[in-house]
């Protein structure tokens, strides 16, 4: 049977510590039709991160220039560093008929949802604030002041869950992942993206 498919723009977001990054990586590893759009950031590369693969690591001046050129689909300052999704990256993937997946913070996600209403947005929620706090402390990547700041932001972000098409609670990772994978599978079959030709 012949069929044609159009790619989708999938946005995975959620408060810091909800587990969106883990779900995002698992999706990419298990679904070959999804591609990662490499973002730009002004933060320095961490050990093991590769320029052009994990991010394009750029200076504040280069970032300002991209802003001026209107090169971003969305952009935001997250925890003191600047991040942006390049329109050119997203376009390149969509033109090849593939789907794009973005792992971005809630400010950026809201911008994409507004600009691109046909995008598929999934908000990952923690099961409780107590669990979110526990995860942020266990992760041990930030100091207590920063953790409390992220927890403070989380409340406002979670209050805006209704702006997203889907919400998934990450209590058990496997369950949350399979719910996101089910959303992706259903969205692929929308007749606006899937064109079967019966001969």
The contact set with ligand 5GP (CB under 6 A) reads 16, 39, 43, 74, 76, 78, 83-85, 103-105, 107-108
Measured from the CB atom, is 104 or 136 closer to ligand 5GP?
104
State in angstroms the smallest separation of the CB of 101 from ligand 5GP: 11
State in angstroms the smallest separation of the CB of 20 from ligand 5GP: 6
Measured from the CB atom, is 105 or 187 closer to ligand 5GP?
105
Give Cα separations from 175 to 97, 178, 179 (angstroms): 29, 5, 6
If we measure between CA atoms, which residue out of 156, 185, 154, 186 comes closest to residue 170? 154
Sequence-ordered alpha helix ranges (H) in the chain:
20-30, 60-68, 87-95, 106-115, 129-139, 144-158, 173-188
For β-strands 194-197 and 2-5, DSSP reports them as antiparallel
State in angstroms the smallest separation of the CB of 25 from ligand 5GP: 12
Measured from the CB atom, is 20 or 187 closer to ligand 5GP?
20
Measured from the CB atom, is 92 or 193 closer to ligand 5GP?
92
């Amino acid at each position: 049977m012949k069929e044609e498919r159009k790619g989708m723009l999938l946005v995975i977001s959620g408060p810091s510590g909800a587990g969106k990054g883990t779900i995002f990586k698992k999706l990419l590893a298990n679904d070959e039709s999804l591609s990662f759009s490499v973002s730009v950031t002004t933060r320095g590369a961490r050990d093991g991160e590769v320029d052009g693969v994990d991010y394009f690591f750029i200076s504040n001046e280069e970032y300002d220039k991209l802003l001026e050129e209107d090169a971003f689909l969305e952009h935001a300052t997250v925890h003191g560093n600047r991040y942006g999704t390049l329109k050119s990256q997203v376009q390149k993937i969509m033109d090849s008929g593939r789907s794009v997946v973005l792992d971005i913070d809630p400010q950026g996600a809201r911008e994409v949802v507004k600009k691109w209403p046909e995008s598929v947005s999934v908000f990952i929620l923690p099961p409780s604030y107590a669990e979110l706090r526990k995860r942020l402390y266990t992760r041990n990547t930030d100091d207590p002041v920063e953790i409390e700041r992220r927890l403070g932001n989380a409340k406002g972000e979670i209050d805006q869950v209704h702006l997203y098409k889907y919400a998934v609670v990450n209590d058990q990772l496997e369950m949350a992942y399979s719910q996101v994978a089910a959303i992706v599978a259903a969205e692929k079959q929308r007749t606006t993206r899937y064109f079967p030709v019966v001969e």
